[in-house]
Structure 1
Amino acid sequence: MKLNHIALVRLSALGDIVNATIVLQFIRQKYPNIKIDWICEEVFAPLLTEHPFIHQVHTINLKKLKKEKNFSGVVQTVKRLRALPKYDLIIDMQGLLKSAVVSRIIGKNIHGYDKDSARESLASLFYASTSNIPYELSVIKRNVALINDALDLQISDEMIDTKEPTLPAYERPFFTQERYAVFVIGASWASKIYPKEKVAEVCNSLTCKTYIVWGSEQEKADAEFVAQHSENAQLTPKLDLKELCALISHASLVIGNDTGPTHMAWAYNVPSITLFGPTNERMIYPTTTNVAIHSDSKVDISHIDKNDFSIKDIDPIAVANKAKELLKW
């Protein structure tokens, strides 16, 4: 297959984009001169703009346009998408109706998930070719399998296990100590959040400085609670995406809920513990140093129960013991 210029469509969310970047290094290994563009929501662009394997990032603001019911903005967005280069191939890595429509506006030669494996089956109607990849499969393996099928890359599990960091490198943040852990206390749903009282217990059990990452005022308040109840815990300043990447990439360990910043640890080959309640290990790629601790809930990943607050039942002693094992100092 002769390819000079392709586009990857993965609009959101943060964790999903982080997990999708694994494919970039493997595409460039087989096609060293290829240009790879990425289409995403504007808020996530800083994560990708300095990536060495991405030629250009193109952004849209679908959430904002929908919220404001901005019809003229939609028209302008469609015009901008139609003006993008004529790609040899467009790969919709999201499998939603909105990402399929965006892909189809850009061009016709689109590859994506088939109706049985896309998150929204109608999306498959917009593709020129499709892959059947079980939805229950790990999100990392789904991303890899889709690219394998689209570009005939033959990425193996061993290649994933020995990957290079999938996100750009940044200098250590100015405020960090020589060695530190990070605790990610936020998440997109309340039921995915480990209680702040138990976060404080974990931090008290560790012997290193633990920076508490926050992104909203509620998360800041929770982080302040943790810092007040643990001498080892310290709030970070308000971080942008690049600063967050820098903090995660230089950490000795990341502990957190099933959310984007926690997934960054695996992307940077940093040891991590992901805490699960209503979701499960499908959302990560478990390794010897990237592990999951989950509640006793039986999770149906196709029908997630957002009212499952069982994450609160995870024993902080179990989290702390695993953290000490991974820290090795």
Structure 2
Amino acid sequence: MNDNQPNILVVRLSSLGDIVLSSPVYKNLKNKWPNSHITLLVKPQFAQVLAGHPDIDHIMVAKKSLWGNIQQIRAGHFTHFLDLHATLKTILMGFFSHIPNRVRYDKNPIARRLYVKFRKTSPVLEKHTLERYLSALKMWDVPIKYTQPELGDWAYKKASMDGKKIGKIGIFQTSFIGDSVLTTPLIQKTARLFPDSKIVVITRPQTQDIFRPMKEVSQIILNEKTGWNKIVGVWKTAKAIKEAHIDILLVPHRSFRSALIAWLSRVPIRIGFTSSEGWFFYTKTVPFSWMIHDAERNLSLLQGIAKEEFKAEKLSLRYAPSAEENVARLMKDFNLEGKTLVGLHPGSAWPTKCWPKEYFVELISRLETELHVQTVIVGGGKKDADLGEKICQLSQGHCANLCGKTSLADLMALMPHFKLFITNDSGPMHIATAFNVPTLAIFGPTTKELGFFPYGHGHRVLEVKSLECRPCALHGGRKCPLGHFKCMREILPQTAFQNAKEMLVENGVIKA
């Protein structure tokens, strides 16, 4: 090929998100050279995903060895080499492939390292990665007409039902327990709006017990997200959704992975949020607002298919009858029958969301000795079980430790037995509110403004509002970024005890 019809190789051996972000690059190249042939060199696991882009003519799968890649590049007789990876490996590929026209994007590695290690800022870091991709094209005098991913990229097509009967509506939620609980109003409302349609839920194995007992749900598709299954699960889940013949897919989960699976499933109408990482994979998007509760945000997805204002109603959950039998056995084994029970959940997937265990110990002691209630620690998994055991040991046996002894369904069946639930910002917090258990939530790195506070009336949130460093993250973190952990340490056991006492009095559990 000559310069009027160049044979272009684009190299991007990074994550799927980075590759999808590069979409405008190919559109601009085709805009300058409509008859050019564009080949994209990517890792093997991404080849199938990327094959549908209308401006990419061929996908070349990267080999393990440097020499193997050089050989296949030489065999392609390319005239232009665009390096969007810019590592030593890809620089050597370009050099030894002897392609005449070679350019690479400037990833500014020194500036990035200085910022990570020493927080030394640089103007070059203010440029988005996509901007730097497009800057490389200027060396070939390619006009920059397209500057962001658009709806037509990656074989994306708008779709509508065109009057066709809606047989099945899918709801995709593969996040944590709390997020799943806050998706149940969306399921219930969808079922009421479309009574003749079946509801299919796509969720994780760990959260399926939230959805299985719901009368509105006719089918559950499981999506595995751990280990090697995290990659394989993309294809398996997309295939399962496709085979379920779903007409509309609502995706409250805002991850790129969820959006990708939705696109691969080829469901005609796919609705997600404008703030989703893979928003361009959806046929419709609705605005995302931090100003409302997450349960109501999820309901707003229905605006893509129904003209109506949506307000979340009271959360409600169901559990399997077998869970009641398990809970009855636990109540008997731990001598909890007939007692006034206060549940506590001291764990979290995020360490910074955990109120100090010594604070829980002091709170338990005061609840037991001053208010004469029976405290019960709950949680799932080995980490929660170990934490519960330590707290019980330090409290000298004043509490019952059910951590690690209940399944998710068991926890739901146990929740109505509590007169009060004291918890970190976590999934069990939302389960408690779904069963109308007065909930006292302790918020540290997260804030109510993120929309995940206890939903409904009669609940309270303890937080240090004066700290300017809050929130430090959407979900919390592994450790306090500033090292002081004041957001939790300044919420004292006395404060929690006083609020717990007031809530028990308000609900007629104890006398003032």
Q: Same fold (TM over 0.5)?
A: yes
Could you tell me how far apart the structure 2 residues matched to 1:102 and 1:316 are? 45
Distance 1:104 1:9, change over 3 A: same
Amino acid of the structure 1 residue aligned with 2:401:
L
Q: Is the 8 A contact 1:204 1:231 kept in 2?
A: no
Structure 1 gap ranges (5+): none
CA contact (8 A) 1:271 1:326 kept: yes
Q: Return the offset for 1:95.
A: 1.6
Aligned CA RMSD, in angstroms, stands at 2.5
What is the CA–CA distance in structure 2 between the aligned matches of 1:294 and 1:52, rounded to whole Å?
A: 37
Inter-partner Cα distance in structure 1 for 2:502 and 2:305: 40
Cα distance in 2 for partners of 1:234, 1:150 equals 48
Q: CA–CA distance in 2 between the matches of 1:66 and 1:230? A: 42
Q: 1:192 corresponds to which residue?
A: 353
Determine the C-alpha separation between the residues in 1 that align with 2:363 and 2:495: 9
Q: How many residue pairs were aligned?
A: 316
Residue-by-residue CA offset, 1:175-195 (whole Å, 9 max, x unaligned): 333331110111011110011
Q: Distance in 2 between matches of 1:88 and 1:254?
A: 40
Of 210, 230, 241, the residue aligned with 2:408 is: 241
Match of 1:223 in 2: 388
> For the structure 1 residues 230 and 283, does the alpha-carbon distance in structure 2 shift closer, same or farther, using more than 3 Å as the test?
farther
> Is 1:13 aligned to 2:180, yes or no?
no
- TM-score when scaled to structure 1? 0.86
Residue type at the aligned position of 2:316? P
Q: Distance in 2 between matches of 1:269 and 1:222?
A: 26
Distance 1:77 1:34, change over 3 A: closer
- SS of the residue corresponding to residue 288 of structure 1 reads coil
1:222 CA drift (Å): 2.4
Contact 2:421 2:438 (C-alpha < 8 Å) held by counterparts:
yes
Counterpart-to-counterpart distance in 2, 1:303 and 1:223:
26
Structure 2 counterparts to residues 93-108 of structure 1, below 5 A: 93-106=252-265, 107-108=267-268
Deviates most, 19-28 or 132-141: 132-141
Over 3 Å counting, the alpha-carbon distance change for 1:75 and 1:102 in structure 2 is closer
Instruction: Identify if the C-alpha distance between structure 1 residues 133 and 100 changes in structure 2 by more than 3 Å, giving closer, same or farther.
Output: same
Partner SS, residue 254 of structure 2: coil
Aligned amino acid, residue 144 of structure 1 = L
Structure 2 counterpart of 1:89, from 235, 242, 248: 248
Shift of 1:269: 1.7
User: When the two structures are superposed, what TM-score results if normalisation uses the length of structure 2?
Assistant: 0.57
Q: How does 1:81-230 map to 2 (within 5 A)?
A: 81-85=241-245, 87-106=246-265, 107-114=267-274, 117-118=275-276, 120=277, 123-135=278-290, 137-156=292-311, 160=313, 163=314, 165-168=316-319, 171=324, 173-174=327-328, 175-176=330-331, 177-178=337-338, 179-206=340-367, 207-228=372-393, 229=395
**2:222 equivalent among 45, 49, 59:** 59
1:49 and 2:215 correspond: no
Does the CA contact (< 8 Å) of 2:464 and 2:491 recur in 1? yes
- Aligned residue for 2:418, secondary structure, equals coil
Counterpart amino acid of residue 214 in structure 1: G
Alpha-carbon distance in 2 for matches of 1:300, 1:36: 36
Q: How far apart are residue 45 of structure 1 and its match?
A: 1.4
Q: CA deviation at 1:54?
A: 0.8
CA drift at 1:208: 1.2
Match of 1:321 in 2: 498
> How far did residue 5 of structure 1 move?
1.7
Q: Check the 8 A contact 2:221/2:237 in 1, yes or no.
A: no
Report the 3-state secondary structure (helix = DSSP H, G, I; strand = E; otherwise coil) of the residue aligned with 1:62.
coil
Deviates more, 1:75-84 or 1:245-254: 75-84
Which deviations, in whole Å up to 9, do the C-alpha atoms of 1:214-238 show, x marking residues without a partner? 3233432321232231554110161
Say which one has the larger Rg: 2
**Any residues of structure 2 matched to 1:248-267 within 5 Å, and which?**
248-267=415-434
Instruction: Give the 3 Å change call, closer, same or farther, for CA 311–95 of structure 1 in structure 2.
Output: same
Return the letter of the residue paired with 2:280: L
User: Which structure's relative contact order is higher, taking Cα pairs within 8 Å and 6+ residues apart?
Assistant: 1
In structure 2, the residue corresponding to 1:64 is in which secondary structure?
coil
Post-superposition CA distance 1:126-169 (Å, at most 9, x none) = 1111111224542222112223454334333xx62xx2624447
Counterpart contact for 2:235–2:261, Cα < 8 Å? no
SS in 1 for 2:196: coil
Amino acid across the alignment from 1:190? P
Provide the C-alpha distance between the structure 2 equivalents of 1:164 and 1:220, rounded to a whole number of angstroms: 27
Matched with 1:283 is 452
1:293 is aligned to 462
Where structure 2 has 5 or more consecutive residues not aligned to the other structure, the ranges are 1-162, 332-336
Counterpart AA for 1:186: G
Aligned partner (choices 28, 34, 39) of residue 202 of structure 2: 39
